[in-house]
A and B are shown apart, each in its own frame.
Chain A
């Protein structure tokens, strides 16, 4: 386990500090260039948030129709066919800008509990979409015009609303340093964040510290 963690950290270290670095000692990696850019990183973060307005705003309307709350007189297919292209389009932007943000600080994100939780909820939300399209939507013709769709559709829509809200919540909590490697914190937090192999090391509530050897030999 520790060897796997060390390999992951070595890879993230390579991305953040080595990849793209020129031969000169003051050269910067691609990741450092992105993070240190005058405006690009800020634009990327702003784009991530603004496209979230469109993405989550449109998925919300589709979910509310599936719950039988809005557009009850309109066919479900009418709402989903005309709104989901906007959702998919904006999701592509959210993912691309999110990947850029991750690329700029991969070590920090990997050792942050909120980011890890966000990825878990994101995966569950995507699985929920797959289940909806694979199973629930298979019978849509029979309930397309129903003001209140069947239970399975409502469950899927409810799960979608909850999961995307959690994704947003965890994403917003990432910058806050309540749980941060290197600070004294409960063992379970250190374990989830894998602080032992992080750049800032691990410290438990009793004040015991552990610093990974690889960061002492950082290039």
Chain B
């Protein structure tokens, strides 16, 4: 476990430039008015909401959930402009608020994760999910190539999140999101079995970390929590694999559904990392 990969490690020669960003006209423009910074932050959150709503609904449709009465191409056609505004908004507002505290972000592994997730999110949304939805779930060669690239970048971001002290707990947001997607995607007995296993894990973790081990005994708590994190991961991935290979969605096959899962989680990773910048 390390302090985590930061942009300072990747681009050490940029230190002086980063320090100077706080005094640029852009930064002064954001920080000038009383509610300047906070207002741009609101814009950042609203952009994230636009991405969230449009991406979740589009990819959920590819998983056979959500607005199933319409073809994925129709969902894409109606939501693509919201997605465009969201992505442009998040980049513009991100640059504005980021310029005011650039030194902090330069030294933050959470910010590194956020940037990795943003890159992966753009690749997976524009290179994979959108063309996939437009083609009603049929994956062409280019989408497979972009998925390999975007998926690898997503996994790299997840790895940095999991291996950086102080922010690694944020992985529970990804676990929660994955768990909730599966509630919507699973059906019948599979859903009940999945929920039973999930509840059992939650209860076991609570008892283990509150009754068997005292809540302030961090030396023993940390390894136990890591084991539970892996168990959650195994349970969720296992259930997801069943939905992927037994999928009831008429559009696309296992690869399409895998792409759809990753297409949602990549933005959750970005939002998680963004929030955890404040806690690092």
**Contact A169 to B42, CB < 8 A, known contacts A43-B172, A56-B49, A61-B79:** yes
**Contact A53 to B69, CB < 8 A, known contacts A45-B275, A70-B79:** no
Which one, B53-61, B129-137, B139-147, B251-259, is touching chain A?
Answer: B53-61
Which one, A14-22, A147-155, A171-179, is touching chain B?
Answer: A171-179
Nearest residue, chain B, Cβ from A174: B38
- Contact in complex: A54, B52 (CB < 8 Å): yes
Q: B104 at the A/B interface (Cβ < 8 Å)?
A: no
Cβ of A73: which chain B residues have Cβ within 8 Å of it?
A: 74
Q: B45 at the A/B interface (Cβ < 8 Å)?
A: yes
Q: B8 at the A/B interface (Cβ < 8 Å)?
A: no
Nearest residue, chain A, Cβ from B168: A39
- Cβ distance A88 to chain B, nearest Cβ, rounded Å: 12
Please report the total number of A residues contacting B with Cβ < 8 Å: 35
Complex Cα–Cα for A120 and B79 (A):
31
Q: B17 at the A/B interface (Cβ < 8 Å)?
A: no
Contact of B49 among A46, A47, A60 (CB under 8 A): A60
Q: A57 at the A/B interface (Cβ < 8 Å)?
A: yes
Complex Cα–Cα for A91 and B75 (A):
23
In A52-72, the 8 Å CB interface with B consists of: 52-54, 56-58, 60-61, 64, 70-71
Chain B positions 265 through 279: 1 when the CB is less than 8 Å from some CB of chain A, otherwise 0 = 001100110011001
**Contact A49 to B54, CB < 8 A, known contacts A70-B78, A169-B42:** no
Nearest residue, chain A, Cβ from B68: A82
Interface of B is mostly: helix
- Contact in complex: B69, A172 (CB < 8 Å): no
- Contact in complex: A83, B35 (CB < 8 Å): no
Chain A positions 25 through 61: 1 when the CB is less than 8 Å from some CB of chain B, otherwise 0 = 0000000000000110011011101101110111011
Complex Cα–Cα for A53 and B48 (A):
7
Cβ of B219: which chain A residues have Cβ within 8 Å of it?
A: none
Q: A78 at the A/B interface (Cβ < 8 Å)?
A: yes
- Contact in complex: A47, B176 (CB < 8 Å): yes
A residues near B (Cβ < 8 Å) are 38-39, 42-43, 45-47, 49-50, 52-54, 56-58, 60-61, 64, 70-71, 73-74, 78-79, 82-83, 86, 89, 165, 168-169, 172-173, 176, 178
List 5 other contacts, CB 8 Å, given A53-B271, A168-B46. A53-B51, A53-B52, A82-B69, A172-B42, A173-B38
